[in-house]
Copies of this chain bind each other. A is one copy, B any other.
């Protein structure tokens, strides 16, 4: 899977997500897409006070949400806006306590099949090299309409 042209660029992805997922992807959400390519994505969640947990860390569900977003963007960037690709499995290992700052996620497709895509994703405290969490996930890709 070469680092080449995605099926949708950042502008097309943002337009699609704003239209289809307005509850999740909207100007106040703090979510943004930093990079996409055929085979992966890098996304960001701006820090929000309600993500804080005891000890000055960021909640697990916030990381899971961002991973889910990165994975979906990577799938769309590979197969285009065919709609209704759905997560069937997500496995997350929490590695280190995130700091109280933005978090970023980098997703990478391990396998793109006709029916399933398998991906991995690493989550980072912004600017820190060691990941705070690691995710693997499977998406079910809908049959092309008409079949």
Binding site for B on A (CB under 8 A): 20-21, 23-24, 49-55, 59-61, 64-65, 68, 83-84, 86-96, 110-111, 115-116, 118, 120, 130-131, 134, 136, 138, 140
Contact = CB atoms under 8 A, between A and B. Distances in A.
Nearest to A118: B93
A23 B60 CA distance: 13
Contact of A90 (B50, B64, B116): B64
Given A23-B49, A64-B64, 12 more contacts: A21-B54, A61-B61, A61-B64, A64-B65, A64-B90, A86-B94, A89-B91, A89-B92, A90-B94, A91-B136, A95-B111, A134-B136
A132 B65 CA distance: 18
Contact of A136 (B64, B136, B140): B136
A104 to B, nearest CB: 17
Contacts of A83: 54
Contact of A23 (B23, B51, B68): B51
Nearest to A83: B54
A23 B138 contact: no
A87 to B, nearest CB: 5
B60 A90 contact: yes
A117 B115 CA distance: 14
B59 A24 contact: yes
